Amino acid sequence: MIRKALFVAGLQLRLIARDKSSFIWLLLVPIVFTTIVGVAFGGFGSSGPAPKVPVAFVDLDRGEVSGVFEQALRAESALDVQTPSEADGRQQVKDEKVPVLIVIPAGFGAAVEAGDPATVEMVRSAGQSSGYFLEQLVSNATTRVSTLAYAASVTTDQLALWKTFDPATRLTAWRTAFAVAQTALTESPTVTTNYSVLARTRPQVQIPDSPTQSSTGFGVMFVMAGVLGTATALVSERLRNTLARIMTTSTSALAFLVGKLMAMMVVGIAQFSLFIMWGWVVLRVDWGRNPLAVAAMVFVYVFAATGLGVLVGALCRTMAQASVIASFVTYATSMLAGSWWPIEVAPPFMQQVARLFPQYWAVNGLNKIVVRGLGFAAIAPNLLVLATAGTVFLLAGSMIYVREVRS
C-alpha cells in the first residue's frame, strides 16, 4: 500500500508543479501580500535601535545641581529627554503624548546645598503602562544627586575641622567638593543598566511587531489555504469519476487517500518553509531562536490543516461547496484566530472564540518561540491541541471518504 500511496502522492505533486496558477496562488501572491502588510505597518523588522521613551523635563532652578539631575537622565539610553515649557509639558502628559513630566522647582539647588529636604515633581499619565520603569530611572537620577551632595557635605564638614568657614566660603567649598565628586563619579567605572523596549507588553503577553505578525499569521493562513486548495482535488476526482476508475485497479481507497494526504503535507510544509525563509531574510524576523521547536510547530499545524482538508473534501459534494467552505475556513476563521492582527488586542471574549480554531494555536505557538524566545515546554499545549485536532479531523474525514467510495 505504501508504494501505491507514494505513487499517488508523486502524481498529485507533479500535477501541482505543472499548473502555473498553483505557483501564483500558493507562493507568489502570499509572499507579496505578506511583504506589503509587514512593510506598510511596521517596516523591515525590529533589528534597528530600540525605541526610546519620551520624557518631558522642566528645570525651573537652572543651577548646577539640577544640571546634574538632567545629565543623569540623559545618560539613560532608554530615555528621550525633551525640554518643553512647564505648561506645554503638563499638556503633553494630559494628552498622553509623553508618559512622564519631571519638574525641578526653583530653589532646588539651594535646598540641596543647605542640606535641607529637596523635592522633584513627577507627573505621570494614568494611561501609560511604563510608569514603574520610568519611576526607577528618575529614582536613579535622584540617588545620583543625593550621593554627590552627601559626598560634598562630608568633605566640607571634614575641612571645617581644620579651618573656620564663613557661610560664603563654606558654600564655595561645598560646590567645589560637589564638582570634584561629580567628576570622580563620572570617570570611575560604574555598574550601569541597558534598557530596551522590545515590545508593547501586557501581563504575561508580548505583542509581536508588524513584520513578525505578518510572517507568522499570514504564513499560517496561506498554508491553510494551500492545503485546503489541494483538498478540493478529492472532490474533483469523485466528480470526474477518476476515483471510480482508480478503484477498478489494485489501488485501494485507503492507499489513494494516504497518497493525497502525503501530497497535502508536502505542499504545506514546503509552503511554510518558504514563508519562514522569506520572513527571516526580507522582513528580518528572528525565526532562528529555536529551529527544532519551529519545525515541530510547522509539522503539527500542517498535519492539523491536512486533516481538516480531508474532512472538507469528504463532506463536500460539489466544487462550489468545496470552494466556499475552503475560503471560509481559510480567511474568516483566520481573522478570528489572530492571523491578521495580534489576538491580544481583541476583546477578551474574542480571544476565547479564537481558541476554537487551529490557526490560533499555530500563531500563538509560533509567537511564543519567535517573540518570547520560549521552547518546547511553552508550546507543548499548542502541539497537543493541534495534534489532537488533526487526528480527529483525519479520522472523521477518512471514515466518511472511504465509506463514500465503497458505497
Nearest to 264 by CA among 214, 301, 219: 301
- Report the pLDDT value the prediction gives residue 26, as an integer from 0 to 100: 56
Q: What is the mean pLDDT of the chain?
A: 76
For 85, the grid coordinates are: 515649557
* Structure confidence at residue 392 (pLDDT): 92
Distance (Å, rounded) from C-alpha 49 to C-alpha 27?
Answer: 32
Among 136, 166, 197, the domain boundary falls at 197
Residues 137 and 81 in one domain: yes
Q: Are 178 and 64 in contact (CB under 8 A)?
A: yes
24, pLDDT greater than 70: no
Residues 32 and 67 in one domain: no
pLDDT in tens, 121-132: 888 876 555 556
**What digits encode the pLDDT tens for the residues 161-196?**
888 778 888 888 878 888 887 777 665 555 555 545
**What pLDDT, on the 0 to 100 scale, is given for residue 22?**
56
Same domain, 345 and 370: yes
Q: Are residues 260 and 400 in the same domain?
A: yes
CATH of the domain at 151: 3.40.190.10
pLDDT of 328: 81
Cα atoms found within 13 Å of the Cα of residue 284, Cβ hemisphere only: 9
pTM of the model: 0.56
Query: What average pLDDT score do residues 348-368 get?
Result: 87
What are residue 324's phi and psi, to 5 degrees?
-65, -45
Domain count, the chain: 2
pLDDT at 240 over 60: yes
Long-range contacts formed by 23-32: CB under 8 A, 24+ apart: 25/225, 25/226, 25/229, 26/222, 26/226, 26/229, 26/267, 26/271, 27/271, 27/274, 30/218, 30/219, 30/222, 30/225, 30/271, 30/275, 31/274, 31/275, 31/278
Q: Which of 95-104, 193-202, 281-290, 300-309 has the lowest mean pLDDT?
A: 193-202
Percent of the chain with pLDDT over 90: 7
* Same domain (yes/no): 189, 266: no
What confidence category does residue 247 fall into, taking pLDDT thresholds of 50, 70 and 90? Answer: low
Residues 366 and 229 in one domain: yes
Band (pLDDT 50/70/90 cuts) for residue 48 is very low
Q: Do 66 and 14 fall into the same domain?
A: no
Q: What number is the average pLDDT over the span 400-405?
A: 73
- What pLDDT, on the 0 to 100 scale, is given for residue 87? 92
Same domain, 280 and 396: yes
In terms of domains, do 245 and 155 share one? no
* Domain end call among 181, 197, 213: 197
Q: Are residues 241 and 333 in the same domain?
A: yes
Give CA torsion, residues 259, 263, 265, 271, to 10 deg: 180
Q: 197, 221, 248 — which closes off a domain?
A: 197
Are both 193 and 217 inside the same structural domain? no
User: Domain limits at 207?
Assistant: 2-46+203-406
pLDDT digits (tens, 9 = 90+) for 249-292: 666 666 666 777 777 778 778 878 887 887 777 777 777 678 89
User: Does 155 share its domain with 91?
Assistant: yes
